[in-house]
Chains A and B, each alone.
Chain A
Amino acid sequence: MVEDDAAFAEMLQVSLASVFELTWCQNSSEASVQLLSRKFDLVLCDHMLPDGMQGLEYLTQLRASVPAMRRILLTGYINPEMISRAMSIAGLSAVLVKPIPTEQLMQELKSALERPVP
């Protein structure tokens, strides 16, 4: 999970910990270090990251560098251009709009993990 909002990230860590092995990174640089150290099945990434990198842009890079890892974008808003890029360039499993109930998020993560990487 790449998320700079500590309160939101901690809430997710508590609620998802019983089902998933979750690693929390506050920005894309931290995430890239983690990705070098081990294999992840899925990355859940906020769109507005603190290090000047947009989540969608980072996920697009990850599609090239770690193609077998599923990618989900968390965002406070959507627009047609974002969705087009999510489909065609970033190959996302899902785009989730905040605020999102924990149960729904858990279901989306499970669904994405059950399906092939787009």
Chain B
Amino acid sequence: MDPALQADKVAPKINHGAVLLVDDEQPLLDLYANVLEAYFEIHTANSVHQATALLRQQEFKVVVSDHLMPGGNGLNFLVTLREEYPATQRVLLTGYMKPEMLLRSVNEAALFRYLLKPVSVDELVKTVVDAAELYDQNAVQT
């Protein structure tokens, strides 16, 4: 991992912005939140419905969503998110990628990344940090 990230890890919470995590499995949500809250202001949602409500309340730099969830799949959610909040960077967590999902990931959802489960903690942190950096770069340019 980047030495700068390691340094951040031992420092008190450093707020690099708000990140929304969406997963119907609470233990995984807790795990992701625990590792990311050293770097970000973390918000969590157990469903697409709950996530949609949170998105109306504030701006997020990055949304990380599980794919298979009751009440709406993550890829469809991120496609909609792109339309409504194009500046927010999108990351999909999934156990599998079908060919049609691969194309939709780029062409419709314009994901920053997709991560295959089981997701390593280091990979998750690096991905979200990189996605937040891209959000910041785009914000400066616009």
Q: Which residues in A have some Cβ–Cβ distance to B below 8 Å?
A: 78-80, 83-84, 86-88, 92-97, 108, 115-116, 118
> How many Å from the CB of A99 to the closest CB on chain B?
14
Contact A87 B106 (CB under 8 A): yes
Digit string of B81-125 for contact with A (CB within 8 Å is 1, else 0)?
000001000000000010100110111001111100000000000
Q: Which residue of A lies closest to B108 (CB)?
A: A94
Instruction: Say yes or no for B6: interface residue by CB 8 A criterion.
Output: no
Q: Name the interface size band of chain B.
A: 10 to 19
Q: Would you mind naming 16 contact pairs between A and B with Cβ atoms under 8 Å apart?
A: A78-B99, A78-B103, A83-B103, A83-B114, A84-B114, A87-B105, A87-B112, A87-B113, A92-B106, A93-B110, A94-B107, A95-B103, A95-B107, A96-B107, A97-B103, A116-B138
Residue contact B110 to A80, C-beta cutoff 8 Å = no
**What CA separation (Å) do A95 and B111 show in the bound complex?**
13
A93 to B103, CA, bound (A): 11
Top 8 nearest A-B pairs by Cβ distance? A83-B102, A94-B107, A95-B106, A86-B106, A80-B97, A78-B102, A87-B111, A88-B113
Residues of chain B within 8 A of A83, CB atoms compared: 97, 102-103, 105-106, 114
- Whether A87 pairs with B107 at a CB distance below 8 angstroms is no
Partner of A118 from the list B110, B114, B142 (CB cut-off 8 Å) is: B110
Q: How far is the CA of A118 from the CA of B113 in the complex (A)?
A: 12
**A59 CA / B117 CA spacing, docked (Å):** 29
CA distance A93 to B114 in the complex (A): 16
Complex CA–CA separation, A93 to B108 (angstroms): 9
CB-CB < 8 A to A93: which residues of B? Answer: 110
Nearest Cβ in chain A — how far from B126, in angstroms?
11
Closest B residue by C-beta to A88: B113
CA distance A115 to B108 in the complex (A): 12
Nearest B residue to A90 by beta-carbon distance? B106
Closest to B96 in A: A80
Tell me the bound Cα distance from A86 to B142 in angstroms: 23
Bound CA–CA A60/B138 (angstroms): 19
> How many angstroms between the C-alpha atoms of A78 and B106 in the bound complex?
12
**In the bound complex, do residue B97 and residue A94 qualify as a contact, i.e. CB atoms below 8 Å apart?**
no
Assembly CA distance A93 to B82 (angstroms): 13
What is the distance, in angstroms, from B105's C-beta to the closest C-beta of chain A?
Answer: 6
Task: Please name the residue on chain A nearest to B141 by beta carbon.
Answer: A116
Per the bound structure, the CA–CA distance linking A97 and B103 in Å amounts to 9
